[in-house]
Amino acid sequence: MERQRSDMFTGISAEEAEKKEQESKAHLANLLQAVIVAINAEQFNLGRDASNRLILSDATLVAIDAFRKAFAESQPKIIEKGMHFRYDTLQETYDAYARSAAQWNYSYNKCALFEDGVLSSVLFYVPENDAQKFSQGLYYLQERNEAARPRSLALRYGDKNFHDVLLSPSVDFVFPGSCISMRC
């Protein structure tokens, strides 16, 4: 990761590189905070649709859509020098999720809404080799020392593809146009 960062910032000073990194971190924190505030305010009291999925407030839907669009716009469209995903993004997103989940007393609805609305959007941008590891299951790779499967995005159970699952509709909530907009 350090090599990728240094390659990415070749030609700029260390101060400029640090400033760019801090700007990226602050931008993600602001995007996450806006959607966390919306999830905090969500009452889950608008009923259910015909598929028994919860109907969300307009404010929550707008916040999630704004996060997805702004996050997609912040991701590089052209791979330069091998750097196309800021790895700290995944950790920072998970940290925000962990803090929020504890604040929500691990409410299933709020945690699932963060996972479906935010985490799926972030995971969509991970590099292919990491998506393959996620598809196999990190638990099996780390805890059970299972050998890595050869280049496969097929999930462990079933024939679905990692990216197809991220783009699929939520099983718990009604998201009009719930897939990640750049693939629809």
**Tens digits of per-residue pLDDT, 151-175?**
788 887 777 787 787 878 888 888 7
Burial class of residue 105 in the structure, from the number of CB atoms within 10 Å of its CB (0-12 exposed, 13-18 middle, 19+ buried): exposed
Q: Using one digit for the tens of pLDDT, what is the confidence trace for 88-142?
A: 898 999 999 999 999 999 999 999 999 999 998 888 888 777 777 777 777 787 7
> Are 92 and 74 within 8 A, CB to CB?
no
Domain span including residue 15: 2-183
Query: Partners of 83 in the beta sheet?
Result: 80
Q: What is the pTM of this model?
A: 0.78
Residue 81: pLDDT above 90? no
Bigger pLDDT: 147 vs 10: 147
> Are 80 and 10 within 8 A, CB to CB?
no
User: In degrees rounded to 5, what are phi and psi of residue 35?
Assistant: -75, -30
> Are 56 and 47 within 8 A, CB to CB?
no
Residue 179: pLDDT above 60? no
HSE-CB of 155 using CA atoms within 13 angstroms:
10
Tally of domains within the chain: 1
Positions of E strands within the chain: none
What amino acid occupies position 114? F
